[in-house]
Structure 1
Amino acid sequence: MMRIGELSEATGTPRRLLRYYEEQGLLTPQRSPNGYREYHPGNVDRVAQIRGLLAAGLPTRIIRQVLPCLNKPRDIHIPDAPPEVLKALEHERDRMTERVEFLTRNRGAITEYLGVACSSATTGAGA
């Protein structure tokens, strides 16, 4: 078992954020007799999953419902998923698609700018 400081160090996640994950129902530590939080070593991977899902833009209410299904990569199954969960997941998927398209356009614009800027710098340096 690990204490919160050890989990924080192992994941690079601040203790305050780990307590927030607990408040949101994303992590469930055990409590020692003296009240300290104790985490199973498997929570290192769980914190990485939570951070990845948050970085992808999923809200904690959706993450809380999806996390139990993520014990195996690419094996997501929510038994008897309520329609509101499915609708929320569809919405988040569509939002991610829009974000990917936006980032792809911006990457292309930056690449094009760098190509012009670098060739101008090379041409100007040789003159």
Structure 2
Amino acid sequence: MKISDASRISGVSARSLRHYEDEGLIVPGRFSNGFRDYCQSTIDRVLVIRSLLESGLPVRLIRDVLPRLADGPDVGTDAVCAEFLHEVQSYRDRLAARIAVLSDQQAALDAYLREARRTALR
């Protein structure tokens, strides 16, 4: 199917499909005129990619794990190796640490604003 059909069926923009290809996440076939040709297995892979991206995983990690995932849009832990789960946990831990730092910064700014408002009202 053409890129417009693949976009409609997958719910992913044509631009994103081209980006996935540029990143080496998918490899669509080609028609004789050079246009991309998307088969159902590529669409299934796009759905997995979209799900992983929406989870916040970086493209690098997705590119590394895609060969180890089962085909299809349902990604179960039984289809994923322990190394990938470790990578996801590590990524999640780094994200949690960043959130903690941002929360501390937000609290400091809130305290500053409270004090500044109290001083301005005097």
Q: Smaller-chain TM-score range?
A: 0.5 to 0.7
**Cα 1:56–1:95 shift into 2, 3 Å:** farther
Matches within 5 A, 1:82-101: 88-95=87-94, 98=96
CA RMSD of aligned residues (A): 2.8
Q: Distance in 2 between matches of 1:46 and 1:86?
A: 19
Partner of 2:30: 31
Q: Distance in 1 between matches of 2:50 and 2:5?
A: 17
Moved more, 23-32 or 67-76: 67-76
- Paired letter, 1:8: S
> Number of paired residues?
94
Matches within 5 A, 1:15-54: 15-54=14-53
Q: Distance in 2 between matches of 1:13 and 1:29?
A: 15
- Paired letter, 2:81: H
- Paired letter, 2:55: A
What's the TM-score once normalised by structure 2's chain length? Answer: 0.64
Q: Distance in 1 between matches of 2:9 and 2:38?
A: 12
Identity of aligned residues (%): 40
**Cα 1:49–1:95 shift into 2, 3 Å:** farther
State whether residues 30 and 37 of structure 1, in contact with CA within 8 Å, keep that contact through their aligned partners in structure 2: yes
Partner of 1:62: 61
Matches within 5 A, 1:69-80: 69-71=68-70, 73-74=76-77, 75-77=79-81
Instruction: Tell me how far 1:36 sits from its aligned partner.
Output: 0.6
What's the TM-score once normalised by structure 1's chain length? Answer: 0.62
- Paired letter, 2:27: T
- Partner of 1:25: helix, strand, or coil? coil
Which blocks of at least 5 consecutive residues in structure 1 are unaligned? 103-127
